[in-house]
Amino acid sequence: MTNIEERLSEAFGRTAEPAAPDLFDRVVGSIADDRLRRSRRRLFLGVGLLIAAAVLTLLVTLAPRQNGALMLPWWTLELATNGVLIALAFWLGPFIKRFGRAYAADVFHDNPTTGKSYIVLTDIVYYLIFAAYVLFTVNFEPAETWGLSVNAAQVKDECMRLGGILLIIGILHGANLVLLPVLGRLFSMNRRLGPRPPAEESAPS
């Protein structure tokens, strides 16, 4: 071992703190939990796709035909659109959160607890927006331009519903990316300029 290696070993040996005895077990458990979550997500996705394929096959099989053309009732496309909106909410939310954690941690590096609370609150706002949008736009009867079966006007309206929620989430997400550094800076300034302990009074001479 060279002189430089010996000095480095001595320096790291003096400054390094002993690792927790259960550190390895916690790391292994964390990896196992992550694998379990991923496998559950794949399982739920596969089951959802199978159910969607089965329902679509059943509808196509039982749907009436006119002059050889398939006539799907209007509510089938309405249900399919609502299902896509709900699936999009549960897929897009964790996707944004996964890549937003590092960004929020960098912004709130002076106060990690505030960053974690901010992520939780934005998740609540995200799902509230999705739920409100679905409830506001759901149709319980055909629109004036629709028919009893699926037509081009209904397909256009349902595509506009999907595009609308993507536009809303995109605008809000972009605004969040711009405002988050400003909020992080404000929280950092408040932390630094917080209340200080009162100065001790000088003893009387």
Q: Residues 173-185: pLDDT tens digits?
A: 888 888 887 877 7
| SS3 (DSSP) at 65 | strand
Mean pLDDT, rounded, for 76-92: 87
In whole angstroms, what is the distance from residue 177 CA to residue 42 CA? 29
Lowest mean pLDDT among 35-44, 59-68, 125-134, 190-199: 190-199
- Which residue has 């405002």 as its token pair? 179
In whole angstroms, what is the distance from residue 119 CA to residue 125 CA? 10
Mean pLDDT, rounded, for 130-153: 89
